[in-house]
Amino acid sequence: MTSWKLKCTRCGRVWVLKVSYNLKEMGRIYHWCPYCRVNTFHEVIERVEEGSEEGVQD
């Protein structure tokens, strides 16, 4: 599993999604936003290193 920092283009919040594939190649994904509570486009910001919870902010 890899954690990815995503930014919702609708509400602008940044949150972390754990998936087993490489999102970096996709650039942006259409995914459920836990804040908007609907599917929205998300920018893939960066990969989050395993075991590091630092730098994850709203």
Q: How do strand 14-19 and strand 2-8 relate by DSSP bridges?
A: antiparallel
Shortest separation between residue 51's beta carbon and Zn ion, angstroms: 26
- Told to check if 17 binds Zn ion by CB under 5 A, we report no
* Cβ burial 15-25 (10 Å sphere, 16+ → b, else e): bebeeeeebee
Cα angle 34, 17, 27; round to 5: 105
- Told to check if 6 binds Zn ion by CB under 5 A, we report no
- Told to check if 36 binds Zn ion by CB under 5 A, we report yes
Shortest separation between residue 16's beta carbon and Zn ion, angstroms: 14
Residues lying near Zn ion in the complex (CB under 5 A) are found at 8, 10-11, 33, 35-36
